[in-house]
Amino acid sequence: SDVCSSDLMLSETNINTPAAQAIKKMINIYEDYLVQKDTIYNSRSDRDIKYREMLRETTLTQLEDIAATNPNAREVYYSLFSDFLRG
Protein backbone atom coordinates (compact mmCIF):
# COMPACT_ATOMS: atom_id res chain seq x y z
CA SER A 1 0.00 0.00 0.00
CA ASP A 2 0.99 3.65 -0.28
CA VAL A 3 1.34 4.00 3.47
CA CYS A 4 3.77 1.10 3.70
CA SER A 5 5.87 2.37 0.80
CA SER A 6 6.02 5.80 2.47
CA ASP A 7 7.17 4.13 5.67
CA LEU A 8 9.78 2.16 3.74
CA MET A 9 11.12 5.28 2.03
CA LEU A 10 11.45 7.10 5.35
CA SER A 11 13.21 4.11 6.92
CA GLU A 12 15.59 3.55 4.03
CA THR A 13 16.66 7.16 3.76
CA ASN A 14 17.07 7.50 7.54
CA ILE A 15 15.54 10.97 7.50
CA ASN A 16 15.30 12.30 11.03
CA THR A 17 13.70 15.71 10.63
CA PRO A 18 10.76 16.73 12.84
CA ALA A 19 8.45 16.24 9.85
CA ALA A 20 9.79 12.75 9.13
CA GLN A 21 9.49 11.79 12.80
CA ALA A 22 5.88 13.00 12.87
CA ILE A 23 5.04 11.14 9.66
CA LYS A 24 6.65 7.93 10.94
CA LYS A 25 4.63 8.21 14.13
CA MET A 26 1.44 8.71 12.12
CA ILE A 27 2.18 5.65 10.00
CA ASN A 28 2.86 3.54 13.10
CA ILE A 29 -0.41 4.65 14.71
CA TYR A 30 -2.31 3.87 11.51
CA GLU A 31 -0.69 0.45 11.13
CA ASP A 32 -1.50 -0.37 14.78
CA TYR A 33 -5.11 0.62 14.06
CA LEU A 34 -5.24 -1.76 11.08
CA VAL A 35 -3.82 -4.66 13.08
CA GLN A 36 -6.33 -4.18 15.88
CA LYS A 37 -9.26 -3.64 13.52
CA ASP A 38 -8.45 -6.59 11.27
CA THR A 39 -7.19 -9.18 13.77
CA ILE A 40 -8.42 -8.44 17.28
CA TYR A 41 -11.82 -6.79 16.83
CA ASN A 42 -12.85 -8.34 13.53
CA SER A 43 -16.12 -10.09 14.38
CA ARG A 44 -19.63 -8.87 13.68
CA SER A 45 -20.49 -8.79 17.38
CA ASP A 46 -21.95 -5.58 18.75
CA ARG A 47 -18.97 -5.27 21.07
CA ASP A 48 -16.44 -5.50 18.23
CA ILE A 49 -18.44 -3.15 15.99
CA LYS A 50 -18.57 -0.55 18.76
CA TYR A 51 -14.91 -1.03 19.60
CA ARG A 52 -13.86 -0.65 15.93
CA GLU A 53 -15.73 2.67 15.78
CA MET A 54 -14.13 3.87 19.02
CA LEU A 55 -10.71 2.72 17.77
CA ARG A 56 -11.21 4.59 14.47
CA GLU A 57 -12.18 7.79 16.28
CA THR A 58 -9.24 7.52 18.70
CA THR A 59 -6.83 6.87 15.85
CA LEU A 60 -8.20 9.79 13.88
CA THR A 61 -7.76 12.10 16.88
CA GLN A 62 -4.17 10.93 17.40
CA LEU A 63 -3.35 11.52 13.73
CA GLU A 64 -5.00 14.96 13.78
CA ASP A 65 -2.99 15.91 16.88
CA ILE A 66 0.28 14.95 15.19
CA ALA A 67 -0.74 16.68 11.95
CA ALA A 68 -1.26 19.91 13.89
CA THR A 69 2.40 19.92 14.95
CA ASN A 70 3.99 20.19 11.50
CA PRO A 71 2.89 21.49 8.07
CA ASN A 72 4.40 18.49 6.25
CA ALA A 73 2.71 16.06 8.60
CA ARG A 74 -0.55 17.93 8.04
CA GLU A 75 -0.22 17.41 4.27
CA VAL A 76 0.44 13.70 4.78
CA TYR A 77 -2.57 13.48 7.05
CA TYR A 78 -4.85 15.07 4.46
CA SER A 79 -3.49 12.98 1.60
CA LEU A 80 -3.25 9.58 3.25
CA PHE A 81 -5.45 9.35 6.32
CA SER A 82 -8.32 11.78 6.70
CA ASP A 83 -10.72 10.51 4.03
CA PHE A 84 -10.10 6.85 4.77
CA LEU A 85 -10.55 7.11 8.51
CA ARG A 86 -13.65 9.29 8.25
CA GLY A 87 -15.41 6.84 5.96
Query: Contact 29/55 with Cβ under 8 angstroms?
Result: no
pTM of structure: 0.78
pLDDT at 66: 96
pLDDT digits (tens, 9 = 90+) for 41-86: 889 999 999 999 999 999 999 999 999 999 999 999 998 887 776 6
